Amino acid sequence: GNYCLIICQFSEQEEWFSEGRDELIRAIRVTRRQNKNLARNIILFVGDGMGISTVTASRLVNTGQLRGEDGEDNLLYFERFPHVGLVKTYSADSQVTGSAAAGTAILTGVKINSGVLGCDSRVKKGNCSAFTENTKLKTILHAFINEGLSTGIVTNSRITHATPASAYAQTPHRGWEGDVDLPHGDTDCAHVDDIAKQLILNNADIKVILGGGRRYFLDNSTQDPVLGTVDPHQRRDGLNLVDEWKKDKIRRNATHSYVWQRSDFDAVDSNSTEFLL
């Protein structure tokens, strides 16, 4: 009995030693092997709020409990990548960051104040006095466009929400998604455009824009095609940004498609469509 117990214990320990040894060998191989290939495409996935606790819960449920297993020793797919790391996600004025400041830091490399999009730390949330060309930041999306590369943004939130908006918007307040949200009584903010307007009029070269938040793009004389009503957040400045987007593509003789339901999306021919909204 004792002999069997020793063998079983050794087998249990050896399993962990073997896994650790294999992981160490893989790590050594990665550091010795330099990949100097030029990437053809870059896809940045952002899990909004995906901290360690959320990842742990996902690992337990998706790779464990749904299969009738414990899940603690399983791995999510991205945890198998050869390189992983952690970042400190504070903002310039807060120990706990938000989507706007975190997204801007990821896409520009600059720490900014919480609640602000695409402006350096001289711009405080909701304060337009320091919002100038000198305080605006350019993102890697802008850099790629300047290099003649194709870019796109896809989200399951509003396309004007702080996380996707951090790729293209510059504003003292993440909440100014539509013109109805702007502080119209503040003369210091008269030169600030809402986020939806910036996306369509200032970022016309983005090839793919897919997400929610249609209400910020339709004027308040147009009924929503799904709801059949006018949302109180629809535009009051007379602009229909969907129409403006279409006009721009027609003016540039660019093939384009506007979709708002699954059947429209499925009907798009990616080989003959340059722009998609």
**Catalytic residue annotation:** 99
Task: Determine whether the annotation assigns residue 163 to a binding site.
Answer: yes
CA–CA separation, 62 and 54 (whole Å): 12
195's tokens: 């986020």
Task: Determine whether the annotation assigns residue 194 to a binding site.
Answer: no
Sheet containing 256-257: order of strands: 152-158, 208-212, 275-276, 256-257
244's tokens: 């403006």
Residues 179 and 197: beta-carbon distance below 8 Å: yes
- Cα 230-231-237 angle, rounded to 5 deg: 85
User: At which residue do the structure tokens 């790729």 appear?
Assistant: 167
Task: Determine whether the annotation assigns residue 256 to a binding site.
Answer: no
In sequence order, which residues have a C-beta less than 8 Å from that of residue 30 and are 6 or more positions away? 82, 83
Residues 236 and 220: beta-carbon distance below 8 Å: yes
Q: Which residues are annotated as a binding site for Mg(2+)?
A: 48, 161, 163
Q: Which residues are annotated as a binding site?
A: 48, 161, 163
Q: Which residues are annotated as a binding site for Zn(2+)?
A: 48
